[in-house]
Amino acid sequence: MADTQKSLSRRAIVVLLIGLVAFLPVDYLHSAERASHAKPVFKDPLTGQWNCAIPPAGGAPGFTVIKSIHVGGTESEIDNAVPPSQESPTVGTWANTGPLAYSQNAYQMSWDPSGNFIGTWNYSGSMNLTRDLNGLSIQGKATLVGANGNVITSFPFTASCTRL
């Protein structure tokens, strides 16, 4: 009976060691994924195209944005806020800040109807994915900096996005 107990103990130790060795690579990959995206991002549930409704804010009427979140940590978007001759596409960066949580920092140039440069918009803030990965909410701050470097206006904004 003592030999049977020793045999069972050895088998239990072997199974435990095999389990640990098998688990370590999986844990390493998960911890690497949880780490800050200090390196280029090649896969993230945020990446893809989004249709975003922007409600009225800061005196501007509501409008729609088509947002493209790229692998590598960049983003671009177009909108229907004003005629295309009065604004550039928006470009910027994004970063993972936690589970399903992100930040963004984007820029867009604006001109008046006569073609005079007004300034550059900066859109910064947080973005949060829904658990099903098909919804994105954005809470941010829009700041227009004039050609002379002075802030013309700044106000909070929100957006509600669905995956395209």
- How many domains, in total, are found in the chain? 2
- The reply to whether 41 falls in a domain is no
Q: Is 130 in the same domain as 52?
A: yes
Q: Is 99 in the same domain as 62?
A: yes
CATH number, position 139: 2.40.128
Q: What is the pLDDT of residues 70-113, one digit of tens each?
A: 999 999 999 999 998 999 999 999 999 999 999 999 999 999 99
Among candidates 46, 51, 56, which has minimal Cα distance to 66?
A: 51
Predicted TM-score (pTM) of this structure: 0.74
| Residue 30, pLDDT above cutoff 90 | no
Q: What is the pLDDT of residues 126-137, one digit of tens each?
A: 999 999 999 999
Cα dihedral 135→136→139→143 (10° resolution) = -130
Residue 11: pLDDT band with limits 50, 70, 90: low
Q: Is 31 in the same domain as 61?
A: no
Range of the domain at 28: 1-35
Q: Is 66 in the same domain as 15?
A: no
| Residue 138, pLDDT above cutoff 60 | yes
DSSP category for residue 6: H
